[in-house]
A and B are shown apart, each in its own frame.
Chain A
């Protein structure tokens, strides 16, 4: 199932309005239910990032927004990608909001 979804998304990547963004999480809202990872076409363990309030720096992320949309707790959101984010899983979300 996941492999199929993954293949599909590579063959026909969905258009993304989120170029230049990155998925951020507000850990206190996360209940670790796993819906985010389940809805991720790249099978990224989004919950791992979310529960720690880290940016989803996994290079496979295609910014499709599924996880953000499906999270039942409003934990995940897009922020402009800070410089060097891939190497540095940083800013706390409240600081991140100030960029917006």
Chain B
């Protein structure tokens, strides 16, 4: 009997695992359990459906044929229990299925609204295709909306509602957009765009409660005392990994399901990957959860390989994220956060309209940035090594920076020029990266010849 691999979740991690298992083993039985009624679709793509750039069916990224030709059996049923001792999963219809190896790839879901009134009709989240369709339906009648949350999803909700002619108020808990990642200038670039679009920004403002009529959202009461008449309230204040199944089965969990470097959970033959898994992260030196598409794909693939017997440790790549914020492309790579704790004093250099360069000899982190209009480049350097970067607008540096950060390359040769700011940062970095790339490619080719 060929081995039976069961995967819970038909998302980025689950499907990547299934496809990887099939690539390695053409006899294996592969079953995916999904509580969503669709074939695999692009969750980030939901934002572009909401904004009207593509119809709903276009986000679906696999055809029934893709499942058939790879002989991946998709069952549209929720898994209600895992029985690790029996090596079985229980389906919502009561069926028990036997596995040889199991992958939990149940993803994450939006944190529920924190205020009274959260159960009213008109409180919306953007997690699934069905929710996105529901939002689109509601925008036909809705005239005004409020959205809370930092990050990408909140902004995508704001942009989507705005694109569908809903007058939108965007409430920020702090005094600027995405303060935990972006620098002040970067936040300002996005905020200016939002204001230009006609979005009403409310800084340092929270929703205290939402009041309704006949069960429907009618007004939001704000921390400023203001009463905002609204038809919809969008909530995107973070995500929570779907660990309930694993918890009930007695698997070790923290924020997510704890896995080792082979993506194995604490139970025999059970793996976890994607948003739900809490994996070792060499960058922070801790087990961390991610909610990133590229991480879900990579970890899903790695889990699939290991389930099929590869026994390869999975090393998390540099955290990497691309997003489009109000039409401006953003790439965040590595330790890109602009915020820092008190003991990490920062050096800053800037050109164009931003602040003037000041130096602290004892600083641990060096921050180099260039802001010009709605384009910005920011580098985070530690002990002369590039550890993080954030790009707004200009994207040609994204690959070079990702590679330099992943390889932990010493920037010493160009550091003085970068700090002086007497040459364009882009040219310096591109030339440096090209030279480094040529060198590493030649070196690796030479090793090949030696063999």
Q: A28-B320, A74-B329 are in contact. Are A34 and B438 (CB under 8 A)?
A: no
- B281-335 with Cβ < 8 A to chain A: 293-294, 320, 322-324, 329, 331
How many positions in chain A have a CB within 8 Å of any CB in the partner chain?
Answer: 21
Say if the beta carbon of B376 comes within 8 Å of chain A: no
Name B294's contact: one of A28, A38, A95 (CB within 8 Å).
A28
Interface class of chain B by DSSP? mixed
Q: How far is the CB of B271 from chain A (nearest CB, A)?
A: 23
Contact code string A73-96 (vs B, CB < 8 Å = 1, else 0): 110000000000000000001110
Contact call A31/B44, Cβ cutoff below 8 A: yes
User: What residues of A have a CB within 8 angstroms of the CB of B324 in the complex?
Assistant: 72-73
A97 to B323, CA, bound (A): 22
Contact call A98/B434, Cβ cutoff below 8 A: yes
Q: How far is the CB of A67 from chain B (nearest CB, A)?
A: 13
User: What residues of A have a CB within 8 angstroms of the CB of B55 in the complex?
Assistant: 38
Q: How far is the CB of B241 from chain A (nearest CB, A)?
A: 20
User: What residues of A have a CB within 8 angstroms of the CB of B438 in the complex?
Assistant: 98
User: What residues of B have a CB within 8 angstroms of the CB of A70 in the complex?
Assistant: 53
User: What residues of A have a CB within 8 angstroms of the CB of B434 in the complex?
Assistant: 98
Q: Report, as a range, how many residues of chain B touch the other chain.
A: 20 to 34
User: What residues of B have a CB within 8 angstroms of the CB of A95 in the complex?
Assistant: 441
Q: A28-B294, A32-B61, A47-B61 are in contact. Are A94 and B437 (CB under 8 A)?
A: yes
Contact call B395/A74, Cβ cutoff below 8 A: yes
Contact call B293/A38, Cβ cutoff below 8 A: no
Q: A94-B437, A97-B399, A98-B438 are in contact. Are A33 and B322 (CB under 8 A)?
A: no
Contact call A34/B61, Cβ cutoff below 8 A: yes
Residues of A within 8 A of B (CB): 26, 28-29, 31-35, 37-38, 47, 51, 70, 72-74, 93-95, 97-98
Residues of B within 8 A of A (CB): 42-45, 48, 53-55, 58-61, 293-294, 320, 322-324, 329, 331, 395, 398-399, 402-403, 434, 437-438, 441
